[in-house]
Amino acid sequence: MTSTTDDKKTGFAIKDLKQIFGGSVSNGRQFGILAALIVIVLFFQIVTGGLTLSPGNLINLVQQYSYILILAIGMVMVIIAGHIDLSVGSVAAFTGIVVALAMRDLQLPWYLGIVLGLVIGAAIGAWQGFWVAYVGVPAFIVTLAGMLIWRGGNQYIGGATAVAVPQEFYVIGAGYLPDFTASDPFNYLTVILGVAIAAVVVFNEFRGRRLRRVMGAEPAPLWVSLVRVAILVALILVAAWLFATGRPGTSFPVSGIILGVLVVFYSFLTRSTIFGRHIYAVGGNRHAAALSGVKSRRTDFLIMMNMSILAALAGMIYIARAQASGGQDGNGWELDAIAAVFIGGAAVAGGIGTVAGSIIGGLVMAVLNNGLILIGTGADLVQIIKGLVLLIAVGVDVYNKSQGRVSIIGFLMKGMSGRSKTSDSLPDANESVRPEGSLPK
């Protein structure tokens, strides 16, 4: 009897293939978008003659889109709670001009400039959060007003002219992991970072298996874990090597490090904390959440304030890379962030979404935009194609479900919703489903 049970746990079964990336709790849509990202990367790698995955292009990709992905992290929390924030681009631009002027005219050190920017973001977020949470004005209206107010503030304070930032400030937007020696063909710290991340992936995978056994749940077959770890480790190490072997003086960007830290932190916050569960509860059913003891007003206030803080950070990273703050900074950023969140699997009605899914959605848009530029597509067609991708990604599945037809997302999610949520492996770090069980008070 024991051997039969062990065979069931370790034997090969076609139905277990979806667990390689989907795991026991991963959202099917997130898995589908990840597959789409891989297809898009391979397509542009072929049509550009290998430029897409060249070290220089990957480095530029991270630097050019890190601020949009940072905005997507905050935006997914806003959308999960059932709101929208249209002001993030203007908040980023306003923060950028104030910080640039403070460092130029007041001789504020660059590190205090960063602190000032975060404080400005918190103050703006508290202002907008107050109107949303305690006055009851819809977030759409509040942030639409904010988009006009902070855009006007940027142009009024800066006089619609560019303001340069000091060279020391460049590091957060245009800096790289330092080299130990200039003569080596690759960057040691980038390779070490890749190896460390790979080790964390392996540790989390087998820690998750052990925790499932301790809690009485059956882990995925061993071969699934081994294949999943092998694929992820290979991808991480190849990416690390590509970043480490770029042109001399470059390596993995500092803005990518900041983004990675934020992804880990907010993934934990939304998945494993009471506040994170409150966000899903408020977005899923506000009245039921209130009856369960969730302080929805406080949750709304903190979500809006957090969004503006991340917008301020994104704005500072952008001006650090551009080396100056200008009147056109932040234009359209809110649309890119919102698109990333919805492509990554968030629901328009709220209650569903993940940090990881939003990052994947943002990468889809980033790689698509980058690839189209590499093959010489005009800016007008790039915008049209990006809009169509967003519309099709969400519209096809919504239409299929409304017609009672087979939904790609629903098919991928089939059989996942009823399983235990005890796995802590890296691919399962963010379930795109509403947390189960009673709500914490």
Q: Write down the pLDDT at residue 320.
A: 95
- With beta carbons less than 8 A apart as the criterion, state whether 364 and 36 touch: yes
The predicted model scores a pTM of 0.84
Alpha carbon 363 to its chain centroid, in Å, reads 9
- Which of 233, 244, 243, 236 is closest to 188 using CA atoms? 244
Type of residue at 117: G
d(CA 37, CA 48): 16
Bridge partners of 176, per DSSP, are 253
* HEC sequence for 172-235: HHHCECCCCCCCCCCCHHHHHHHHHHHHHHHHHHHHHHHHHHHCCCCCCCHHHHHHHHHHHHHH
d(CA 327, CA 330): 9
Maximum Cα interatomic distance, the chain, rounded to a whole number of Å: 79
Where are the domains positioned within the chain? 21-175+253-414
DSSP structural state of residue 433: S
Q: Write down the pLDDT at residue 441.
A: 45
Q: Write down the pLDDT at residue 21.
A: 54
How distant, in Å, are the alpha carbons of 82, 285, 296, 351 from that of 291?
18, 10, 10, 17
- Which of 160, 126, 140, 131 is closest to 87 using CA atoms? 140
d(CA 115, CA 354): 28
How distant, in Å, are the alpha carbons of 102, 128, 264 from that of 162?
14, 27, 34
Q: Write down the pLDDT at residue 127.
A: 97
Q: Write down the pLDDT at residue 146.
A: 95
Secondary-structure class of domain 21-175+253-414 per CATH: mainly alpha
d(CA 315, CA 144): 18
Q: Give residues with Cβ within 8 angstroms of 247, minimum separation 6.
A: 55, 56
Q: What is the pLDDT along the chain (441 residues), one digit of tens a residue?
A: 444 444 444 555 555 555 555 543 334 555 667 778 888 999 999 999 999 999 999 999 999 999 999 999 999 999 999 999 999 999 999 999 999 999 999 999 999 999 999 999 999 999 999 999 999 999 999 999 999 999 999 999 988 788 999 999 999 999 999 887 666 778 889 999 999 999 998 998 888 888 888 888 777 788 878 888 888 899 899 999 999 988 888 899 999 999 999 999 999 999 889 999 999 999 888 888 888 888 999 999 999 999 999 999 999 999 999 999 988 898 989 999 999 998 888 877 788 888 988 998 999 999 999 999 999 888 888 889 888 887 877 776 566 556 554 444 444 334 333 333 333 333 333 333 444 344 444
d(CA 330, CA 209): 44
